[in-house]
Chain A
Amino acid sequence: MPWKDGYTISDERGLADAVLHWPGDAACCFGITVELGPACGPGGITARDLDTPENYYGLHGGLDALRETLAGHGMRATFAVPGVIAELYPEIVRALHAEGHEIAADGWRREDISLHERAEERDLIRRTVAALHAATGEAPAGWYCLPRAGDKYAVGAISPDTVPLLLAEGFTYLGNSPADDVPHYWVADPAGPVAILAMPYYYAFDDQFHLLFPARGTGLEHADALERNWRAEFSAQYRRGRAFTMNLHPHAIAWPNRLRKLDDFLTHATALPGLWNATAGECARYWLETYPAAETLRIEPSIWQYHEDSLN
């Protein structure tokens, strides 16, 4: 189906509210993704990025405060960890893992993977897996390619090779895709189909685009809008019986007044019955079992014609 190239990555219609069910008849799947490590440019984390007060805060006082808040609500998160962070702070990554949080990959140094050739990309994936494995004793199930605050687009970047490489390297899921608000299949080759499960991501629920955005100094503070986005989306998704996923950065969200907003929100959310707080891996495994691609991925044949005068 050559026309799908460059247009769609999944089937034409997402799963409706009515067909969605969560374990134990839960009303809503609640996911928290935490990116570990400092802000960086498209080339990824450098020594200079590490040598910042924000980085110190994000791996020490800020991280501790966030962990305490999550623990206070009995919630577990998925920590998206770049390979270099696992190399540099193995004891922190190990401790997070031991606390029950999931450790997933977030690039080798959170670089823009689309800037690399296939062989380089495969090498970066393997190095990252090795670093995370060394810290936790487990290979990561998920691979994130989340946006950096300075990126042109707040969606993350992927190369044409990423999904085939992730499948070849045994990954269960791709951590972020904006094409749906529940897990969905990212189709690399519709003929197979060859597809990986993608987890929902949306910038409106990501703290880094609201807190001193785009950068400290001149960045603007929209902690109020962030909290209202979380609350509005969560309450709408809860009513629909779907999923809510938020993205946090300890160096940003842990600052006390912001952390209080998170704390209040989590108090509100956990007070409702039927909340399923799942790590991305748990949600992905449930989804693959309950909504396997063979049964739910419905790629329709194209009726598109080739036109000389069109994009095609």
Chain B
Amino acid sequence: MTRNTEGATIVAASVLAGFGVTLVNFAQERSIDAQTALTFLVFLIGFGGIHLAVRAFAPKATPLLLGPVTALTALGFFQIYRLDLATESSRAGLQRWWILIAAGLACLTLVLLNRTSVSILRRYRNITLLVSVVLILLPNLPTDWGFPLRGLEVNGSRLWVLLDIGFTTFQFQPAEIAKLGLVAYVAGYLADHQRALREARRHIGPIAFPEPRQLIPLLITWGVSVLILISQRDLGASLLLFVGFVLLLYAATGTTGYLVAGGFLGLIAGVASYLAFDHVQRRVIAWLAPFEHYEDEGFQIAQGLFAMGTGSLSGAGPGLGRPDLIPNASTDFIFAAVGEELGFAGTVSVLALFALTVAVGLGIAFRSRDTFRKLLAAGLTFVLAVQTILIIGGIVRIVPLTGITLPFMSYGGSALVGNLILIALLLRISHEEAP
């Protein structure tokens, strides 16, 4: 596959986005309007822009990554547009702006790294850590003070920051950007201390365990995750942070003990939070018995299952299902919405595209010779994969629902910005590590 094929895939995915909008319009008995052309153009400019930036600044990067990502964004966008019509909101228009902004920032990432290399993230990792921690703590700002930057609570989670610049306000989830910084920091830290960490271990039976003092970073991360869980009442971000860190620690050292210890700490935090917080209890109840608690806790999951089951093999057709019956469909349950309207065919396609993206990401990690780049590529891919598995797993009832967004597909600007920058970083690593 060449760069030109990548361009063709992006054009095809842009057509898919425009065509999806057309089909929805058509199904909703609307005429074909400017939405189709606008959507097509936004995808073409956004992702085509990244494509051109890759040509200019990372020409040796893998051509396999951008296509699936564009297709996933297109599938998500058409559902956001479709839900807009049913719920009389105007998220699709905003999401289009966010696509342009996120693509612009992804291009900017490629431009900036072109002058140096991703290794700059290793060199300045302490600054990255500081910025990331500040970003994570931003939502804990007071919600009602005079400062234009405030915390914001949405659906019981303190994940949002509100920027009030007088004539308008912006909302974003800083954790979506911070997760990149944290992965970069951990990758840098582990690359520097890899040897020491790997050698400082003892075997208990067949399992290698780290020296107790080497567990300190793990304990710190665990503590931070629990703090996020308590202060921001968000299961998803803290779980993602902790799981991502444990996986990266294992990847760097090959010490199985980190997985065991991480699993143990995760279990403690999970049981404790189940006992302590009723929002965690509600999630577990909804996970185990959604239909028995249909009227309250289980409603969203049950509706998601009804949506997917009704969609069955081929789906109701774009614009012809009722995904709007699922609460918060465009943020939390976009996967179920796709399942209703595009059916099993649609959900399998989405899973395949994510699996492909993750496989390409892991392939970049495998091929990297430089330890930092290898760990960074692996870490970024882990975060992407774990996030995908957690949210879809929550919808299909493999794990409790964690309330994180589905990468590329869910409505939400900060997530899209974070994930497209993540893709830009993977592309850059792929370029730098190309033979």
- Co-complex (A, B): no
Interface residues in chain B, defined as those with a beta carbon under 8 Å from any beta carbon in chain A: none
Interface residues in chain A, defined as those with a beta carbon under 8 Å from any beta carbon in chain B: none
